[in-house]
């Protein structure tokens, strides 16, 4: 068994690692941006796939990864974990359908509410203590799902026609345009940037480069929010104009 993940701020990675610790502790995990990912997937028949929902859709980088490696999915048995801040409708279902198109057999789906990663928009921001409780609650749900999976009854969240309609009409149709191409909206405030290079090193799309001691945003952003949440000077924004509250899963797991 292999765990695969795409994760901007750590929620989806945490969900996968926690799930596997309770389901199959010998399973390896790999990020889709890791160079060895395709080779490892090729070596395993049973997979657990974890990712963050974006507007009831799949991040562009993940969609491209699935398509570029389309021959890898045929005959695989895949369980899907979708993390989200509030609502996806069919978070597990939409990834499941993409994989099914290439011959995968979907064993089930799990939806997990986790802290919101959009750190420059106020709407879904919650206090630190509340985010810590959200992660604790998700952990309990993951352990329960792993137990059911062990008994041959994997959860089926987000799979099927009703969730499909909820995701499609809930928000996917409305935001479809945002998800068709990579974003060129990332902004770095040069007055705040101290040129530490952290953002450039962390970006899974290599869409940030350092130029004359400052970070410069490119136009291949998959909106993972990793850089926005990690910049020590709050110099980066994407959907909003100002960083409201930064956080990664590690922040919420700290005692």
Ligand X SMILES: Cc1cc2nc3c(=O)[nH]c(=O)nc-3n(C[C@H](O)[C@H](O)[C@H](O)COP(=O)(O)O)c2cc1C
Other CB atoms within 10 Å distance of the CB of residue 172: 22
Helix (H) or strand (E) holding 5: strand 2-5
Which partner in ligand SF4, ligand X, none is near 62 (CB below 5 to 8 A by kind)?
Answer: none
Given 223, 227, 231, 243, the residue binding ligand X (CB under 6 A): 223
Longest dimension (CA), the chain: 57
Q: Which of residues 210-229 bind ligand SF4 (CB under 6 A)?
A: 215, 221-228
**Which phi and psi angles does 248 have, rounded to 5°?**
-125, 170
Indicate the burial class of 4 (C-beta count within 10 angstroms; 0-12, 13-18, 19 or more). buried
Which partner in ligand SF4, ligand X, none is near 47 (CB below 5 to 8 A by kind)?
Answer: none
Residues in the interface with ligand X (CB under 6 A) total: 25
Asked if 60 is part of the footprint of ligand SF4 (rule: CB under 6 A), the reply reads no
Asked if 58 is part of the footprint of ligand X (rule: CB under 6 A), the reply reads no
Asked if 134 is part of the footprint of ligand X (rule: CB under 6 A), the reply reads no
Which partner in ligand SF4, ligand X, none is near 88 (CB below 5 to 8 A by kind)?
Answer: ligand X
CA distances from 148 to 16, 91, 109, 155, 244 (A): 16, 20, 12, 7, 38
> Quick one: 9 or 88, whose CB is closer to ligand SF4?
9
Asked if 107 is part of the footprint of ligand X (rule: CB under 6 A), the reply reads no
Q: Which stretch binds ligand X (CB under 6 A): 2-10, 63-71, 125-133, 185-193?
A: 2-10
Which has the closest alpha carbon to 200: 192, 188, 191?
188
**Which phi and psi angles does 228 have, rounded to 5°?**
-60, -40
Do residues 16 and 50 make contact, with C-beta atoms less than 8 angstroms apart? yes
Q: Which of residues 180-219 bind ligand X (CB under 6 A)?
A: none
Q: By CB under 6 A, name the binding residues for ligand X.
A: 7-12, 52-56, 83-88, 114, 116-118, 171, 223-225
Query: Using CB under 6 A as the criterion, which residues of the chain lie in contact with ligand SF4 when the complex forms?
Result: 8, 186, 188, 193-199, 202-205, 207-208, 215, 221-228, 231-233, 235-236, 238
């Amino acid at each position: 068994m292999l765990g695969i993940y795409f994760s901007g701020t750590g929620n989806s990675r945490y969900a996968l690692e926690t799930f596997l610790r309770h389901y199959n502790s010998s399973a390896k995990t790999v990020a889709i941006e890791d160079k060895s990912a395709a080779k490892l997937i090729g070596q395993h028949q049973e997979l657990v796939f974890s990712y963050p929902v974006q507007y009831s859709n799949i991040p562009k980088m993940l969609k491209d990864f699935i398509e570029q490696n389309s021959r890898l999915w045929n005959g695989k048995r895949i369980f899907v974990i979708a993390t989200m801040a509030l609502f996806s409708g069919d978070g597990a279902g939409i990834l499941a359908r993409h994989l099914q198109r290439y011959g995968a057999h979907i064993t089930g789906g799990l939806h997990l509410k986790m802290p919101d990663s959009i750190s420059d928009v106020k709407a879904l921001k919650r206090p630190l203590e509340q985010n810590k409780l959200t992660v604790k609650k998700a952990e309990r749900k993951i352990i329960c799902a792993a137990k059911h999976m062990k008994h041959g009854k994997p959860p089926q969240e987000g799979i099927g026609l009703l969730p499909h309609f909820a995701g499609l009409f809930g928000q996917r149709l409305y935001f479809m345009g945002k998800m068709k191409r990579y974003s060129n909206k990332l902004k770095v405030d040069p007055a705040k940037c101290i040129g530490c290079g952290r953002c450039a090193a962390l970006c899974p799309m290599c869409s940030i480069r350092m130029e004359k001691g400052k970070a410069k945003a490119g136009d291949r952003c998959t909106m993972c929010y990793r850089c926005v949440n990690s910049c020590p000077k709050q110099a980066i924004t994407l959907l909003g104009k100002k960083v409201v509250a930064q956080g990664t899963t590690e922040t919420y797991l700290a005692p």
